[in-house]
DNA sequence: ACGTTTGGGCCAAACGTTTGGGTTACTATG
DNA sequence: CATAGTAACCCAAACGTTTGGCCCAAACGT
């Protein structure tokens, strides 16, 4: 099985074996579809392909990349790889990439400017063909610099300026959330708004507030608090809201994990979620439906966002330009806002 | 600033600019530490480094890889990138990799043999120097084949056969869980054991059962049920346990997400978690402490597992061999087993 | 019969790097 | 004063691919 010579299987090897020239083999195996036909007769082409398959030939990306200047690599930058939302988006990116024979490299930036610049440099040093940013900021000098340098990239999930992006329609999502809560009769509503530099939180909040205004419901400024996008941040924010002067009857968190944190804070205050306090999240994480008290959320096609982002990048890499896309979110009402505790009434009784 | 010629900054460019030979520049900039000294005088070395820095020279990995046969890339295979546990391990891998100037490429395998073979082929076609598998199976023909082919790899989180691995000491973790529940007075205990092909679930379960046996507590076979590692799986498994003939007073799930599913099932059955039914998980996911009812769990240094796995791979790539490592887990008792609703999220002390 | 096209290949250069050997010009040594 | 030693470089050959040209023979058109 294993040859004693252990000769690596390269184009030249195949060519020598068949008495052909390496360029002929190259065109048949890796050439562009139009050049493939006139490179060799159907017969020789078959012999080449057969031997290549038998030997398990795989083109060496170093050789190819050196010659073409392309690497077939794209970099994906996200705040954290352990953030479920971004991880799911990344899965979409990677899936679409694999379909195109391109490989993704991901890097975590912690939403921190120096590390993200550093990580981007590393990716560029690897000669990636393009980038997907999942951590764009509303005001993002770095992205502007990159664009000026001619680096090709698209934004996923968060938008920034006029850079091409694929995001949920967050303003609409915010409105859906507001409508849901106001339809339930709430008038004292509050928002856990996420980080101010992220378009996601900002747009969701803006949409929510706009709808409230249209319905004549006043949301005092101190009922909109910023937070990190994780449970700890959500808990702290909810704590502030519940201890403040305008204790709300309903809280909209722009992120499911922040909402889960709010759930904990509610429990600490002896409030029954769904009955005493409505809480809803955003993104419809798989966890949301499975929580002991299922969480109302706004579903966003995260996987699809990733896919589209990569497809858009692929278009850019072909030299064409692309339009930003907004994907439509959907409300998923559940027990955490309905007051319906489900099959039993005991859910909140632990706090008694 | 930007040259009109737009000449890419390469070794040759720097060499020409300085009137030196490209090999001299190479040795100074990228050469091994010992060769670096005798390559050029301290003075020329400085000139080289200064110009390189000024031009922002970055070695082209295609050229280097072509010559050396090394790519500085390692592949990381995990069941899913959106699984928090594996994502965290991956963060550890990537962190340690970045420190060594090596880049990771990750791929999701869905715990499915054909896709994982396919993804591995793709990574190998990219000429990765080595691999980290986060999805090993107890009986894993594919890994044996790879090892026979001389592919360098290490296993993370799950072990398999004699292949070098970095895992938690899962048998010990299972014992810690059992001791905790038995110390609380439970005698009717059950296990949600995860997938049978994963060493994690199997070893945790085995450790748990061994401790029970030593303490004279009988666990009937139908009180050990398999499940997927996610919430839905945990919920279904708990459902079966609670509907079965030996309704347990305590459930040990080998994974936090499965435990969260069990929480939901408990609520559906009108059981108060912590009081009527004790539930505990494993891995001490950040979420565990922040849940409305904080979840008892067994903490595992996931990030560290990732780091060590990559370090071990680095050793292998240097041609040396390495011993498998087991990292020590720690119990984190919380309200979901104590019935005490207070002190949420506080890290428990490991008192005997 | 002769010029032209075309099918089927071959040729060679180039991409950027590494690395085992020179080749100088000094300097220290005996 | 040779001679060995060394510091500081230079040389050249790869590594595997791609791609614009080139070439030859056979087929074709007139």
Return the CATH number at B53: 1.10.260
Residues A174 and A287 in one domain: yes
Residues B46 and B85 in one domain: no
A283 shares a domain with A210: yes
pLDDT values of chain A reduced to their tens digit, one per residue, 352 residues: 444 456 799 999 999 999 999 999 999 999 887 777 788 888 899 999 999 999 999 999 999 999 999 999 999 999 999 999 999 999 999 999 999 999 999 999 999 999 999 999 999 999 999 999 999 999 999 999 999 999 999 999 999 999 999 999 999 999 999 999 999 999 999 999 999 999 999 999 999 999 999 999 999 999 999 999 999 999 999 999 999 999 999 999 999 999 999 999 999 999 999 999 999 999 999 999 989 899 999 999 999 999 999 999 999 999 999 999 999 999 999 999 986 644 333 333 323 3
Q: Residue B347 falls within a domain, yes or no?
A: no
Residue A107's domain comprises 71-168+302-328
Determine, yes or no, domain membership for A6: no
Closest-CA residue of A relative to B256 is: A287
In the predicted structure, residue B33 carries a pLDDT above the cut 90? no
Are the Cβ atoms of A84 and B81 closer than 8 angstroms?
Answer: no
Cβ(A159)–Cβ(A102) below 8 Å: no
- CA–CA distance, B349 with B352 (Å, rounded to integer): 9
Contact residues, B window 112-131, toward A, CB-based 8 Å cutoff: 119, 122, 124-127
Same domain membership, residue B176 and residue B282: yes
Which residues in chain A are closer than 8 Å to B266, comparing Cβ atoms?
292
Is A306 found in the same domain as A290? no
Based on the domain organization, do A181 and A236 belong to the same domain? yes
| Within a domain: A33 | yes
Touching check for B330 and chain A: CB below 8 Å?
no
Across the interface, do B61 and A292 touch by the CB < 8 Å criterion?
Answer: no
Q: Which residue of B has its CA nearest to A258?
A: B290
User: Given an 8 Å threshold on Cβ–Cβ distance, is A62 in contact with B61?
Assistant: yes
**Window A:255-274, CB contacts with B under 8 Å:** 257, 260-261, 263-264, 266-268, 273
Is residue A149 one of the residues assigned to a domain?
yes
> Same domain, yes or no, for A43 and A112?
no
Judge whether residue B40 has pLDDT over 90.
no
Residue B231 contacts A where some CB pair is shorter than 8 Å: yes
CATH of the domain at A213: 3.40.50.2300
Q: Quick one: which of B218, B231, B228 has its CA closest to B266?
A: B231
Per the CB < 8 Å rule, is A346 touching B270?
Answer: yes
Interface test with B, best of A7, A82, A146 (most B CBs within 10 A): A82
Asked if residue A97 belongs to a domain, the reply is yes
* Domains: count for chain B: 3
Residues with CB under 7 A from strand C: A 19-24, 38-45, 63, 66-67; B 8, 10-12, 22-23, 26-27, 29-32, 57, 59-60, 62-64, 66-68
- CB–CB contact A268 B84 (8 Å): no
Same domain, A19 and A163: no
Question: Has residue B6 been placed in a domain?
Answer: no
Q: What percent of chain B is helix, strand and coil (3-state, nearest 5)?
A: 45, 15, 40
pLDDT at A5: 52
Element containing residue A108 per DSSP (H, E): strand A103-108
Q: Tokens representing A20? A: 């052909």
pTM summary value: 0.93
Total length of chain A: 352
Asked if pLDDT for residue B4 goes beyond 80, the answer is no
Q: Which residues contact B187 (CB under 8 A, 6 or more apart)?
A: B217, B249
Handedness of CA B127, B130, B136, B138 (dihedral sign): positive
Distances (CA, A) of A21 to A5, A17, A42: 22, 10, 16
Query: Does any CB of chain B come closer than 8 Å to the CB of residue A287?
Result: yes
Contact B68/A at CB under 8 A: no
Please tell me whether residues B174 and B291 are part of one structural domain: yes
Type and span of the H or E element at A189:
strand A189-192
Nearest nucleotide, C1' to the C-alpha of A41? C8
Looking at the structure, tell me whether residues A93 and A238 fall in a common domain: no
- Examine residue A288 and state whether it is found in any structural domain, yes or no: yes
Nearest CA in chain A to B286: A231
Of the candidates A203, A199, A180, A209, which has an alpha carbon nearest to the alpha carbon of residue A298? A180
How far: B171 CA to C28 C1' (Å)? 68
Nucleotide nearest to B14 (CA to C1'): C16
Q: Are residues A80 and A125 in the same domain?
A: yes
Sequential DSSP letters for A77-88: EES-TT-HHHHH
Chain A interface test: which of B6, B62, B77 (most A C-beta within 10 Å)? B62
Q: What would the mean pLDDT of B310-326 be, rounded to a whole number?
A: 97
Dist. CA B98–CA A306, nearest whole Å? 24
Cα gap A202→A259, rounded to integer Å:
16
Q: Which of A31-45, A95-109, B23-37, B282-296 has the lowest mean pLDDT?
A: A31-45
Contact across the interface for B84 and A84, Cβ inside 8 Å = yes
Residues of A within 8 A of B94 (CB-CB) are 81, 106-108
Q: Mapping DSSP to helix (H, G, I), strand (E, B) and coil, where does residue B77 land?
A: strand
Nucleotide C6 C1' to residue A196 CA (A): 66
Q: Does B107 touch chain A (CB under 8 A)?
A: yes
Report yes or no: A17 at the B interface, CB cutoff 8 Å. Answer: no
Task: Determine, yes or no, domain membership for B66.
Answer: no
- Residue A286 with chain B: CB contacts under 8 Å: 230-232
Query: Are residues A97 and A86 part of one domain?
Result: yes
Query: Does the structure show a pLDDT above 80 at B350?
Result: no
């Amino acid at each position: 099985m294993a040859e004693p010579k252990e000769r690596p299987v390269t184009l030249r090897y195949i060519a020598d074996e068949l008495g052909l020239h390496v360029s002929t083999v190259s065109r048949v195996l890796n050439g562009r579809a139009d050049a493939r036909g006139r490179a060799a007769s159907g017969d020789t082409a078959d012999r080449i392909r057969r031997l290549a398959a038998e030997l398990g030939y795989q083109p060496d990306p170093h050789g190819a990349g050196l010659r073409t200047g392309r690497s077939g690599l794209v970099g994906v930058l996200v705040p954290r790889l352990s953030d479920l939302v971004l991880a799911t988006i990344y899965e979409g990116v990677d899936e679409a990439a694999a379909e195109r024979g391109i490989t993704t490299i991901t890097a975590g930036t912690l939403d921190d400017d120096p590390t993200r610049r550093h990580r981007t440099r590393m990716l560029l040093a690897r000669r990636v063909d393009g980038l997907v940013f999942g951590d764009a900021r509303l005001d993002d000098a770095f992205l502007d610099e990159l664009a000026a340098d001619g680096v090709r990239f698209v934004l996923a999930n968060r938008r920034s300026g006029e850079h091409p992006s694929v995001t949920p329609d967050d303003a609409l999502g915010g409105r859906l959330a507001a409508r849901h809560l106001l339809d339930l009769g709430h008038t004292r509503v509050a928002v856990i708004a996420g980080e101010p530099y992220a378009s996601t939180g900002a747009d969701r909040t803006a949409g929510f507030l706009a709808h409230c205004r249209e319905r004549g419901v006043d949301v005092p400024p101190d009922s909109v608090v910023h937070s990190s996008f994780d449970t700890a941040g959500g808990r702290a924010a909810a704590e502030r809201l519940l201890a403040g002067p305008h204790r709300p009857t309903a809280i909209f968190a722009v992120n499911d994990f922040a909402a889960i944190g709010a759930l904990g804070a509610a429990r600490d205050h002896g409030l029954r979620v769904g009955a005493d306090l409505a809480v809803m999240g955003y993104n419809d994480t798989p966890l949301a439906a499975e929580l002991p008290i299922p969480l109302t959320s706004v579903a966003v096609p995260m996987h699809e966002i990733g896919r589209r982002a990569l497809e858009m990048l692929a278009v850019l890499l072909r030299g064409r330009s692309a339009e930003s896309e907004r994907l439509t979110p959907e409300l998923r009402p559940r027990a955490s806002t309905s007051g319906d505790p489900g099959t039993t009434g005991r859910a909140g009784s632990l706090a008694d």
